[in-house]
Structure 1
Amino acid sequence: MKTPCSDYVLTKGVMFFARMLDKLRLKDQGLLPADYNYAGGPERDCFDGYCCRFFAIDPAQLVERVRAGGTDEEILEWCFEKFGRADEEKIKFWNNFITTRGWRDASSRELQAEKKANGFGDRADIQTWVDYHDADEGRTPRTTESFAQ
Structure 2
Amino acid sequence: MKMQTPVSDRVETKGLVYFARMLDKIRLKARGELPPDYFVGMDDDPTMFDARCTRFLGIDYNELVDRTLKGRSDEEILEWCFKCGRKPSEEEIKIWNAFLLKRGWRDEASADLQAAKKREGLEDRDDIQTWVDLHDVEEGRTPRPFCCG
**TM-score by structure 2 length?**
0.94
Deviation at 1:41, TM superposition (A): 5.3
SS at match of 2:69: helix
Superposed counterparts of 1:1-149, under 5 Å: 1-40=3-42, 43-145=45-147, 148=149
8 Å CA contact 1:40, 1:51 repeated in 2: no
Contact 1:41–1:59, Cα closer than 8 Å, also in 2: no
Please tell me whether the aligned partners of residues 9 and 21 of structure 2 are also in contact (alpha carbons under 8 angstroms). yes
Q: Which moved more, 1:119-128 or 1:36-45?
A: 36-45
Residue type matched to 1:111 in 2? L
Structure 1 SS opposite 2:38: coil
How many angstroms apart in 2 are the aligned matches of 1:20 and 1:64? Answer: 13
State the Cα deviation string for residues 54-86 of structure 1 (Å, max 9, x = none): 121111110110011111001000100111211
Gaps of 5+ in 1: none
SS in 2 for 1:75: helix
Tell me, in whole angstroms, the C-alpha distance in 1 between the residues paired with 2:135 and 2:56: 21
The 4+ residue runs of structure 1 with deviation greater than 4 A are none
How far off is 1:135 after superposition?
Answer: 0.6
Report the structure, 1 or 2, having the larger helix content. Answer: 1
22 and 7 in structure 1: CA distance in 2 versus 1, 3 angstrom threshold: same
**Identical counterparts, % of pairs:** 54
Give how far 1:44 is off: 1.1
Rate the CA distance shift 1:71–1:94 in 2: closer, same or farther, 3 A: same
